[in-house]
Amino acid sequence: MKISPRFSDAIFIGSFIGTLLVTAIHYNTKDHIDTSQFGFNANYYFQEFLTNGVARIAVPYFAIVAGFFFFLKYTDLSDYQRNLKNRASSLLLPYILTSIIFFIVEALYQWSKKELQLSPVNVLTTIFLKPVAVQHWFLRDLIVLSLVAPIIQLLRNSMGAIIFVVVILPLWIFDVELLPKLGGRHLIHIEVLACFFIGALLSSIPDQIESHLKHVTYLQIVWLTFAFVILLALRIYIKPDFMNYYVNDYTQITILLQGIAKIIGIYLLMVLSYRFQSRRLVALSSMSFFIFLFHGIPLNRFINKMSDYFVDDIYKFYINFPISVALTIAVALYMSKFHVGLYHLLTGGRGSRKPK
């Protein structure tokens, strides 16, 4: 089953926007604001809305896209074997290579501070189970999901939609994790599992999805955006220090508001990516995975050190975030042009994209 060039471009543009949002999350500085003394100010509320509200649509969107493409061409065992082979080069290899790179960089940094402590178990755990780069947990989830794809295929073919609505959707919305932890993170996070499953369901109706995207009106977009903003604003008003990543600090009503807002936001991201396309966005979308991999350590330490000289910690987000994006794009452009082999190796064979 194939999808149209425009639909394909829309998916990758959405991934690029999602990657920018993930980068924003990792560069937010609202935790440096002393709310106990000064309360929640405009700076805090803006960063909370963007990085812990809007940006939280990114990971579920990525998972939906991953599930969609995995199951788009999956009918039998040979398809599963081919997909696994593809994921080995496009996910597993970049995961291991970049984990090793970041481990070496971090080890050298710790050694320079005379704080380096190594053991065989520590090395293996850091590379394979809990990499230095915090964003790698998502890649690990996708690797595990690729391995258990036959189970998802079985569920998809036997009342998959009902299973999703009755069982998986409520678990995701209310943040109920089912699987044990491995290396400090759940083996598969419920949000990634749920959205990968959504992608699997949607992969059987790509033509209907595109037909729907074509007919979404501007008025519907306006109302959905209004609902998205209101839901997030209400959640922030009730609990501005909401957290459900790494630390669980939320109420049932706030996790519900956040969950509904994410569903609307993911839908809006797909609609807007389909409706508003440009040659530049399509070209930039080819760099999404590179930005995802390299926007954090060690780049964040360098940028943070430089910004120490001219901006207070609580405002560093507005400097560090755009600098990180600009630098990773610049390096991606340079490597994709002058070190093509290495670039393809690190990004799992992802090359440049041109408008179709």
10-25 tens-digit pLDDT: 999 999 999 999 999 9
| pLDDT value of residue 354 | 61
Classify residue 351 by its DSSP letter: -
pLDDT computed for residue 353 by the predictor: 63
Of 222-231, 263-272, 297-306, minimum mean pLDDT range: 297-306
Nearby residues of 127 by Cβ (< 8 Å), 6 or more positions away: 96, 99, 100, 103
Predicted local confidence at residue 81, as pLDDT: 95
In sequence order, the 6+-apart residues with CB closer than 8 A to the CB of 218 are: none
Q: Which residues contact 238 (CB under 8 A, 6 or more apart)?
A: 251, 253, 254, 257
Q: How many CA atoms lie within 13 Å of 337's alpha carbon, on the beta-carbon side?
A: 6
- CA 303/CA 233 separation, integer angstroms: 31
Tell me the residue range of the domain where 196 lies.
5-346
Q: How many CA atoms lie within 13 A of 194 on its CB side?
A: 25
Tokens 């090793």, located at residue: 100
Assess contact for 29 and 304: CB atoms under 8 A: no
Please calculate the CA angle 212-214-217 and round it to the nearest 5 degrees: 90
Q: What is the DSSP letter of 165?
A: I
pLDDT digits (tens, 9 = 90+) for 341-353: 999 999 999 876 6
Q: Is residue 11 part of a domain?
A: yes
Mean pLDDT across the chain: 94
* 354 assigned to some structural domain: no
The lowest-confidence range among 24-28, 245-249, 289-293, 333-337 is 245-249
- 139 belongs to a structural domain: yes
pLDDT exceeds 80 at position 355: no
Q: Does pLDDT of 86 surpass 70?
A: yes
End-to-end CA gap in the chain: 18
Q: How far is CA 160 from the centre of its chain?
A: 24
What is the C-alpha to C-alpha distance for residues 168 and 64, in angstroms, rounded to an integer?
14
- pTM of the full structure: 0.96
Residue 283 inside a domain? The answer is yes
Please tell me what DSSP assigns to residue 32.
G
Please tell me which residue, 333 or 115, carries the higher pLDDT value: 333
- Quick check: is 168 in a domain? yes
Asked if residue 38 is part of any domain, the answer here is yes
Residue 158: what pLDDT? 81
Q: How far apart are CA 241 and CA 40, in angstroms?
A: 9
| pLDDT score of 271 | 98
For the record, the structure tokens of 207 come out as: 């033509």
Tell me: pLDDT of 180 over 60: yes
Average pLDDT (304-320) is 95
Whether 356 is covered by a domain: the verdict is no
In a domain, 215, yes or no: yes
Taking only the tens place, the pLDDT of each residue in 257-289 is 999 999 999 999 999 999 999 999 999 999 999
Q: How far is CA 135 from CA 22, 130, 138, 228, 292, in A?
A: 9, 10, 6, 25, 8
Read off the pLDDT of each residue in 67-83 and give the average, rounded to a whole number. 93
- Strand bridging mode 185-186 / 181-182: antiparallel
Q: What percentage of residues in the chain have a pLDDT greater than 90? A: 84
Q: What is the pLDDT of residue 305?
A: 93
**Structurally, how many domains does the chain consist of?**
1
State yes or no: pLDDT of 216 exceeds 80. yes
